[in-house]
């Protein structure tokens, strides 16, 4: 993999993770709304294959890998299918993944800074 | 997507659950509100929530679409000593089920807390993002 793809892939991952976090916020806000169906954001597998297919893609080409889908889980009596346990776990995981991606971006910046300093 | 969208979304969730709790506490505090049989009974308030559609300018969330009122008929009970009693000794009490109100209160409380937990998580993520490029 070309190192030129690292930053675009990280940027798309950060975007996808923050969109997932927003979707989770929406699902939790509607936890008691009758008829509401949970929304899920997916991008990991699509991003992985996009990175494999186009080794010199930029952020704009990779941006299309983020997709939102309505959860197909069975709904309760009020027609709502938000699962709070699942959303809480997913939220915690998304938060940690987001921070991990931020560390990776930080790492790239550190490399650039070291190169510029020549040390 | 705006910068701090999650606060807006979870804020709407907190607000709706807060209103729900307000309605429930009002219902419970009026559970013994007696009226004359010639008047309508105290009507319980139920909050109707609808999801706000997420559009490019709006991150979504939830909103109160309206308030549904409970039975105006209530329950007529015999209470001849009550100063509000009619000639037959009847008064009108509200048709509020305390068990139902208490379970609703628990749901509203948990929903409120869940939304606040999301706010807390989002704060951590935003704070981490704000630290980008700051070290040395």
pLDDT in tens, B49-66: 999 987 877 888 999 999
- Residues of chain A contacting residue B107, judged by C-beta atoms under 8 Å apart: 32
- What is the average per-residue pLDDT within B118-133? 89
Residue A3 pLDDT: 65
Cβ contact, residue pair A92, B114, below 8 Å: no
Nearest to B1 among A22, A88, A95 (CB): A22
Task: Report the gap between the CA of A33 and the closest CA in chain B (Å).
Answer: 5
| Pairwise CA distance, residues B33 & A41, whole Å | 49
User: Residue B136 pLDDT more than 60?
Assistant: no
A-B interface: how many C-beta pairs under 8 angstroms? 99
- Contact assessment for residue B41 and residue B71, using Cβ atoms and an 8 Å cutoff: yes
Calculate mean pLDDT across residues B110-133.
Answer: 91
Flag whether pLDDT at A6 surpasses 60: yes
Distance CA A23, CA A17 (A): 10
Specify the pLDDT at position B47. Answer: 94
Flag whether residue B115 sits within 8 Å of chain A, measured between CB atoms.
yes
Given an 8 Å threshold on Cβ–Cβ distance, is B13 in contact with A99? no
pLDDT category, A7, cuts 50, 70, 90? confident
Length of chain A: 119
Residues of A in contact with B12 (CB under 8 A): 29
Dihedral angle over CA of B1, A103, B113, B18, nearest 10:
-30
Distance CA(B123)–CA(B22), nearest Å, equals: 27
> Do residues B24 and B73 touch, judged by C-beta distance below 8 A?
no
A10/A18 Cα distance (integer angstroms): 12
Q: Which residue did the predictor score with more confidence, A59 or A6? A: A6
Among A49-53, A99-103, B48-52, B112-116, name the one with the lowest average pLDDT: A49-53
B76, B26, B45, A23 alpha-carbon torsion, rounded to 10°? -150
Q: State residue B75's pLDDT score.
A: 93
Element (H, E) at B75: strand B75-78
Lowest-confidence segment of A2-6, A29-33, B4-8, B105-109 by average pLDDT: A2-6
Q: Give the pLDDT band of residue B135 (cuts 50, 70, 90).
A: low
Whether A92 and B121 lie within 8 Å, measured CB to CB: yes
The span from the first CA to the last CA of chain A, in angstroms, equals 26
Give the whole-angstrom CA distance, residue B43 versus residue B96.
Answer: 8
User: Using a CB cutoff of 8 Å and minimum separation of 24, what contacts does B70-77 make?
Assistant: B70/B27, B70/B43, B70/B44, B70/B45, B70/B46, B70/B94, B70/B95, B70/B96, B71/B41, B71/B43, B71/B44, B71/B95, B72/B40, B72/B41, B72/B43, B73/B40, B73/B41, B74/B35, B74/B40, B74/B41, B74/B42, B75/B41, B76/B37
Closest-CA distance, A11 to chain B, in angstroms, reads 12
Average pLDDT, chain B: 91
Predicted local confidence at residue A2, as pLDDT: 47
């Amino acid at each position: 993999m070309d190192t030129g793809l690292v930053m675009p892939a990280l940027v798309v991952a950060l975007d996808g993770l923050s969109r997932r976090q927003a979707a989770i916020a929406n699902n939790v806000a509607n936890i008691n709304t009758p008829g509401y169906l949970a929304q899920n954001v997916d991008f990991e597998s699509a991003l992985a294959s996009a990175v494999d297919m186009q080794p010199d893609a930029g952020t704009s080409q990779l941006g299309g890998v983020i997709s939102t889908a309505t959860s197909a889980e069975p709904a309760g009596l009020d027609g709502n299918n938000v699962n709070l346990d699942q959303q809480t776990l997913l939220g915690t995981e998304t938060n940690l993944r987001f921070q991990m991606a931020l560390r990776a971006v930080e790492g790239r910046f550190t490399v650039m800074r070291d190169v510029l300093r020549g040390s | 997507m705006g910068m701090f969208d999650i606060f807006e979304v979870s804020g709407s969730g907190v607000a709706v659950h807060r209103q729900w709790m307000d309605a429930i506490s009002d219902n419970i505090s009026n559970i013994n509100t007696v009226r004359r049989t010639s008047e309508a009974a105290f009507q319980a308030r139920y909050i109707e929530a609808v999801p706000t559609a997420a559009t490019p300018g709006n991150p979504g969330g939830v909103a109160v679409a309206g308030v549904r009122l409970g039975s105006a008929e209530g329950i007529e009970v015999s209470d001849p000593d009550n100063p509000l009693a009619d000639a037959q000794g009847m008064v009108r009490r509200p048709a509020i089920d305390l068990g139902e109100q208490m379970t609703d209160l628990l749901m509203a409380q948990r929903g409120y807390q869940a939304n606040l937990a999301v706010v807390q998580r989002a704060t951590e993520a935003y704070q981490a993002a704000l630290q980008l490029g700051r070290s040395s």
